[in-house]
Structure 1
């Protein structure tokens, strides 16, 4: 089983959106038996909260359902997940601080999109309100990540 964790600041906008998109893609490719997906936040601000209404709206608009409650990223996640993926550089630094010396294990979400996105942050729609732009970025990145997982972890 390959396990993927998406992480943002509050776990109510970007990371649950990525979780919903990735689960949807995994189901479409009939890989639910081989890939598990979750999300978390680096902060404690929204533990137990449902995703932001803008996140839920854009997911529903695209035919994706999501049942999720916010939780905080912790050191135990390092043991439980094969992929630790941060939405932005600050999230990555916060995750690395929790993990200690294992900083190479945390990748940026947009690094999975080819052609000029490497090193870029997923903008936080909590501040920008642009859930559509974020959805498009996350959809492209999730597709590319899933291709990588299939090619490197699931092919025999």
Structure 2
């Protein structure tokens, strides 16, 4: 939604995976929110702290997604159904490939990545666990061109 919790963490996890595979010259990773309320701000300090414990540095600044983003990227991953709906509305019938992150997870995970903003530290850890489970599968799909 605001690009300060879930999506910058997903960007950080994906960036680490892509760099480890030596594919950072071929795969561009970015994140953006569906609202611009936090534009220019760093990721939430609690998410940065949880990510740092896993060796991730979240350095991006919040920004709002644009229709041009939806055309520029081969894959747009939404954290929840509400954001997917907003992204599809912004795409306005275009050819954007918008998928839920949970589509890369087993059924025992929630269908939406919960927003940890109003909760405790455990919410940030849970989001990172979901990302650690899904992001390698996203990368494998990109590598095999199955997306």
Tell me the TM-score normalized by structure 1.
0.86
Partner of 1:142: 135
1:99 to 82, 91, 95: 91
Shift of 1:105: 2.1
Question: How many aligned positions are there?
Answer: 144
1:73-152 correspondence to structure 2 within 5 Å: 73-102=65-94, 105-113=97-105, 115-116=106-107, 120-129=111-120, 130-152=123-145
Partner of 2:5: 13
Change (3 A) 1:104 1:116: farther
Counterpart Cα distance in 1 of 2:124 and 2:110: 20
Counterpart Cα distance in 2 of 1:37 and 1:90: 22
Counterpart Cα distance in 1 of 2:108 and 2:25: 30
The answer for unaligned runs of 5 or more in structure 2 is none
Say whether residues 1:27 and 2:19 are aligned partners: yes
C-alpha contact (below 8 Å) 2:74/2:96 kept by paired residues: no
Say whether residues 1:49 and 2:41 are aligned partners: yes
Instruction: Name the one with the larger strand percent.
Output: 1
C-alpha contact (below 8 Å) 1:110/1:117 kept by paired residues: no
The answer for unaligned runs of 5 or more in structure 1 is 1-8
Shift of 1:127: 2.4
Counterpart Cα distance in 2 of 1:124 and 1:29: 29
Q: What RMSD in Å do the two structures reach over aligned CA positions?
A: 1.7
Counterpart Cα distance in 1 of 2:108 and 2:34: 23
Q: Which runs of 4+ in 1 moved over 3 A?
A: none
